[in-house]
Amino acid sequence: MVPPLNPDVSIIHAQRADRAGNVQAWGILGIQQEVAFAGRRVVVTVEEIVDDDVIRGDPNRTIVPSQVVDAVVECPFGAYPASVQGYYERDDTFFREWSEMGRAPGAVGRWLDANVRDTAGHADYLSRVGAETLDRVRVDQALSQPVNYGRRRPRPPEPPSPPAAQAARDGGAVSR
């Protein structure tokens, strides 16, 4: 048997969360939820932090509850060059270039130095990627249809019980 992985810190990225850390995602999720629940601490980066009402208004998209999350960070393009459904698509040009570059000795280390280690942060990295590239992968809005979660209707008062049901509740016999 292989023991489970329980990292000290799990980091996942999703579409949105509220400030409390209720995380919502849709599309291809992979193992986001499992990664979050495996970690001793959980940091979530999201495309946007939204009001609590947005999360409560669509509860079935919540993949990680706030009780599991230690920190939420708003980080637009936080999954780039991968995709985030509803925000941007995968940058196939980047991945083709990465495949080629990865074959050259030391190339990955040089790329990491230039684009990760030697940056002032995520905003600096995105500025190196360039606004034109980010605009190229951004997607247009395509809303899904609303979902009917059903709201309980006001109910009229219940009619009186039939005599047999009343008698059974009273422990007596039914008179005919």
53 and 9, same domain (yes or no): yes
3-class secondary-structure state, position 116: helix
**Among 22, 50, 75, where does a domain finish?**
75
Whether residue 15 is predicted with pLDDT greater than 80 in this model: the reply is yes
Give every strand in the sheet of 41-49, ordered side by side: 62-64, 23-24, 9-17, 41-49, 71-74
Whether residue 93 is predicted with pLDDT greater than 70 in this model: the reply is yes
Tell me whether residue 125 is in a domain: yes
Whether residue 94 is predicted with pLDDT greater than 60 in this model: the reply is yes
117 and 53, same domain (yes or no): no
57 and 107, same domain (yes or no): no
65 and 1, same domain (yes or no): yes
Whether residue 176 is predicted with pLDDT greater than 60 in this model: the reply is no
Residue 165: pLDDT band (50, 70, 90) is low
Range of the domain at 68: 1-75
Angle at 75 between CA 35 and CA 23, to 5 degrees: 45
Whether residue 145 is predicted with pLDDT greater than 70 in this model: the reply is yes
Tell me whether residue 176 is in a domain: no
Kindly state the DSSP code that residue 138 receives in the 8-state scheme. Answer: B
What span, in angstroms and rounded, lies between the C-alpha atoms of 139 and 104?
A: 33
4 and 35, same domain (yes or no): yes
Cα dihedral across residues 28, 69, 53, 49: positive or negative: negative
68 and 101, same domain (yes or no): no
4 and 69, same domain (yes or no): yes
Tell me whether residue 134 is in a domain: yes
**Among 47, 75, 103, where does a domain finish?**
75
Residue 123: pLDDT band (50, 70, 90) is very high
Residue 149: pLDDT band (50, 70, 90) is confident
Q: What is the pLDDT of residue 155?
A: 87
pTM: 0.80
31 and 67, same domain (yes or no): yes
Q: How many domains does the chain have?
A: 2
What span, in angstroms and rounded, lies between the C-alpha atoms of 29 and 48?
A: 17
Tell me whether residue 150 is in a domain: no
Neighbours of 36 (CB within 10 A): 21
Residues 44, 9 contacting (CB under 8 angstroms): no
Nearest to 6 by CA among 34, 36, 39, 37: 39
The kind and range of the H/E element at 129 are helix 122-129
Whether residue 175 is predicted with pLDDT greater than 70 in this model: the reply is no
Which backbone phi and psi does 175 adopt, to 5 degrees? -90, 140
Percent of the chain with pLDDT over 90: 76
Whether residue 162 is predicted with pLDDT greater than 80 in this model: the reply is no
Rg, C-alpha atoms of the chain:
26
103 and 130, same domain (yes or no): yes
Percent of the chain with pLDDT over 70: 93
Give 40 or 175, the one with higher predicted confidence: 40
* Mean pLDDT to the nearest integer, 102-129: 94
Torsion on CA atoms 71, 39, 59, 55, rounded to nearest 10: 10
1 and 65, same domain (yes or no): yes
What span, in angstroms and rounded, lies between the C-alpha atoms of 85 and 74?
A: 16
Whether residue 114 is predicted with pLDDT greater than 80 in this model: the reply is yes
